[in-house]
């Protein structure tokens, strides 16, 4: 795809540009046999005229069996938008919440589709605020606004911590990664515990109680390592679709309060006003509107 740029003398022998089928086979065969290890020495061992970086990228973004290719689902798109609102362009962090998707794929999908879709809806894709009114949502409403901003910061930190742990667990579980099973769904959670996962979750669990009200988690097991944002409708949702309506109802503050009553989050001071502001800001409804649009391609 991309035209190779001028190469240094050192790199003179290295091939660039699109990968051939033959190269893919060589790389896949090597990784299947030896696992991912030292990328810098891999090309030579695998008989590839590529730099290690290029091999790593090709494996991570294309050849790995952990990758789900194809169209993004409605849930995935909504997850991306919500995560972007919270943490910005931290694609690698988002990966932890979009199993089998790569950071590159998420980034591309955001840049080519979701960003444009939001802009067409009059939403600033960077701030996730309506472009005509910069005073709402995260930053601009005095106490309530700052509360939510503070909440977003905490959630951002949590997401990053989780993503880091996913990465760590992946790097320590080279062989399991070659299977189709997501590392964090494995029953053997020792790696996670050793890498500090449990400790991290203890600290952050309380915050999840608040966030659970914003995003409908699949279960109330808030410490689940497979935690993902979940929306109970599938396929192309219709604006009047009952399941979509159901989701909206379930993600009201009532549910957050319900969760607050559960043992795991009982000591959380859920900020009802902040949540209501969140809903009032129209962002939730905007997401529905954006995602319910049929194939919003600007082409045509």
Partner DNA sequence: AAGATCCGCAACCGCACAGTG
Partner DNA sequence: TCACTGTGCGGTTGCGGATCT
Residue 79 · residue 105 · CB < 8 Å: no
- Is 246 among the residues that bind DNA (CB under 7 A)? no
- Is 127 among the residues that bind DNA (CB under 7 A)? no
Count interface residues toward DNA (CB under 7 A): 47
Residue 14 · residue 7 · CB < 8 Å: yes
Classified as helix, coil or strand, 59 is helix
- Is 39 among the residues that bind DNA (CB under 7 A)? yes
- Is 41 among the residues that bind DNA (CB under 7 A)? yes
* Dihedral angle of Cα 105, 108, 114, 116, to the nearest 10 degrees: -170
d(CA 272, CA 263): 19
Give Cα separations from 245 to 74, 75, 213 (angstroms): 15, 15, 16
Classified as helix, coil or strand, 217 is coil
The residues in 84-113 that bind DNA, with binding defined as CB under 7 A, are 89-93, 103-105, 107-109, 111-113
Which of 38, 132, 187, 219 touches DNA by CB under 7 A?
38
- Is 234 among the residues that bind DNA (CB under 7 A)? no
Residue 213 · residue 259 · CB < 8 Å: yes
**Considering only CA atoms, which of 176, 191, 148, 178 is closest in space to residue 284?**
148
CB atoms inside a 10 Å sphere around CB 139: 14
- For residue 92, what are its two tokens? 């690698």
The residues in 5-24 that bind DNA, with binding defined as CB under 7 A, are 5, 7, 16-19
Q: How far is the CB of 57 from DNA (least distance, A)?
A: 5
Which of 1, 12, 13, 175 touches DNA by CB under 7 A?
1
- Is 156 among the residues that bind DNA (CB under 7 A)? no
Rank residues 89 and 181 by Cβ distance to DNA and give the closer one: 89
- Is 196 among the residues that bind DNA (CB under 7 A)? no
Rank residues 103 and 124 by Cβ distance to DNA and give the closer one: 103
- Is 49 among the residues that bind DNA (CB under 7 A)? no
Give the footprint of DNA on this chain (CB under 7 A): 1-5, 7, 16-19, 37-41, 50, 52-54, 56-58, 61-62, 69, 89-93, 103-105, 107-109, 111-113, 116, 163, 167, 171, 297-300
């Amino acid at each position: 795809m991309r035209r190779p740029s001028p190469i240094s003398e050192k790199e003179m022998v290295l091939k660039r540009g699109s990968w051939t089928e033959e190269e893919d086979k060589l790389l896949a065969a090597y990784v299947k046999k030896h696992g991912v290890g030292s990328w810098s020495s891999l090309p030579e061992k695998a008989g590839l005229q590529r730099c290690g970086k290029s091999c790593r990228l090709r494996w991570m973004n294309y050849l790995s069996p952990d990758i789900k290719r194809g169209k993004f689902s409605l849930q995935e798109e909504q997850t991306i938008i919500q995560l972007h609102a919270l943490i910005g362009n931290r694609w690698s962090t988002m990966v932890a919440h979009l199993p089998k998707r790569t950071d590159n794929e998420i980034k591309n999908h955001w840049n080519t589709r979701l960003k444009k879709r939001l802009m067409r809806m009059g939403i600033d894709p960077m701030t996730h605020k309506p472009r005509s009114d910069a005073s709402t949502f995260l930053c601009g409403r005095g106490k309530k606004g700052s509360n939510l901003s503070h909440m977003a910061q905490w959630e951002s930190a949590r997401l990053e911590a989780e993503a880091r742990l996913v990465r760590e667990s992946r790097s320590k579980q080279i062989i399991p990664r070659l299977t189709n099973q997501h590392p964090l769904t494995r029953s053997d959670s020792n790696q996670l515990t050793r890498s500090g996962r449990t400790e991290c979750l203890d600290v952050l669990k309380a915050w999840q109680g608040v966030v659970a009200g914003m995003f409908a988690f699949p279960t109330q097991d808030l410490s689940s390592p497979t935690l993902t944002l979940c929306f109970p409708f599938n396929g192309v949702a219709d604006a009047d679709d009952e399941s979509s309506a159901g989701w909206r109802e379930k993600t009201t503050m009532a549910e957050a309060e319900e969760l607050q009553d559960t043992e795991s989050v009982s000591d959380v001071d859920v900020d009802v006003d902040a949540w209501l502001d969140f809903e009032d800001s129209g962002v939730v409804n905007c997401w529905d509107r954006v995602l319910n649009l049929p194939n919003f391609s600007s082409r045509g």
